[in-house]
């Protein structure tokens, strides 16, 4: 993983994590969680929807930062498995965080709570001439693409993620409840 350590995002976030480590270690666990979330999670989540479709090595690099932050907060050793620690903190792994953000963007599109430049990229599938059992769920058209870069666009990635969600999530009309259920689904 030495080539991943040359990634500028990795270096930036790891440097910040090392800078706040002495402070975090002197705080109570709930306060240290707040501090780490403010400095580290905010950087990992900033524009993370742009990471959809990125290489596994980049995701692994960012995941190692999140794992280090989780271990710092909970004072967990490196030999202990990280998944229970992430669940305890209610932190989704990085790849799921990206999917979570895209799914919430699509939800906001569906409910008219997102800018027009994004909402125009998602087209609901509705055919009034055919009444299907699936017609009461909201599914989006996924446009065909020619390149891998096109596959990463919001117009493709958002509908793909949305359509892969369980139908009962499509019908939730409260944003806070949708986020809670979506996070539970992604943890499951």
103-152 pLDDT, tens digit each? 999 999 888 888 777 777 777 776 444 455 545 567 888 989 899 888 89
pLDDT digits (tens, 9 = 90+) for 153-167: 888 999 999 999 999
Tens digit of each residue's pLDDT (9 = 90 or more) over 6-61? 777 778 888 888 998 999 889 988 898 899 888 888 888 888 888 899 889 889 98
Classify each residue of 107-124 as buried b or exposed e, where b means 16 or more C-beta atoms within 10 Å of its C-beta. bbbbeeebeeeebebbee
Distances (CA, A) of 181 to 91, 104, 125, 140, 173: 14, 11, 23, 20, 12
| pLDDT at residue 1, as a whole number | 45
Position 5 pLDDT exceeds 70: no
pLDDT value at position 2?
47
- Cα radius of gyration (the chain): 19
pLDDT of residue 8: 77
Give the per-residue pLDDT at 107. 93
Q: How confident is the model at residue 91 (pLDDT cuts 50, 70, 90)?
A: very high
d(CA 17, CA 72): 9
Name the more confident of 1 and 181: 181
CA–CA dist 54, 95 (Å, integer): 9
pTM of this structure = 0.82
H-helix or E-strand spanning residue 144: none
């Amino acid at each position: 993983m030495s080539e991943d350590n040359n990634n500028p995002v990795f270096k930036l976030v790891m440097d910040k994590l090392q800078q706040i480590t002495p402070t975090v270690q002197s705080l109570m666990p709930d306060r240290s969680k707040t501090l780490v979330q403010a400095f580290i999670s905010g950087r990992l989540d900033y524009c993370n929807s742009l990471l959809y479709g990125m290489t596994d090595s980049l995701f692994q690099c960012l995941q190692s930062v999140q794992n280090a932050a989780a271990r710092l907060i909970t004072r967990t050793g490196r030999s202990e498995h990280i998944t229970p620690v992430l669940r305890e903190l209610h932190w989704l792994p990085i790849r799921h965080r990206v999917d979570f953000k895209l799914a919430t963007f699509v939800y906001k599109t569906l409910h008219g709570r997102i800018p027009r430049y994004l909402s125009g990229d998602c087209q609901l599938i509705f055919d009034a001439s055919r009444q299907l059992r699936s017609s009461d769920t909201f599914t989006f058209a996924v446009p065909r693409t020619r390149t891998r870069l096109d596959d990463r666009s919001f117009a493709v990635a958002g509908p793909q993620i949305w359509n892969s969600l369980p139908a009962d999530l499509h019908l939730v009309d409260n944003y806070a409840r949708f986020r809670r259920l979506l996070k539970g689904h992604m943890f499951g």
